[in-house]
Amino acid sequence: MSDATIMRPRSRALEYAANPDMAAFTIGQIAIAALREDGTLSVETLRNHLARIVAGCDDAVAARVNPEMALGALRHIDALLRNEAA
pLDDT of amino acid 62: 63
Residue burial 48-78, b: 16+ Cβ < 10 Å; e: rest = bbbbbbbeeeeebbbbebebbbbbbbbbbbe
**5 in Cβ contact with 55 (< 8 Å):** no
Prediction pTM value: 0.74
Q: Extract the residue ranges of the chain whose pLDDT is less than 70.
A: 1-14, 60-63, 85-86
pLDDT of amino acid 64: 83
Q: Which residues contact 24 (CB under 8 A, 6 or more apart)?
A: none
pLDDT of amino acid 25: 94
pLDDT of amino acid 15: 76
pLDDT of amino acid 42: 94
Which among 30, 54, 25 is positioned nearest to 41, based on CA atoms?
30
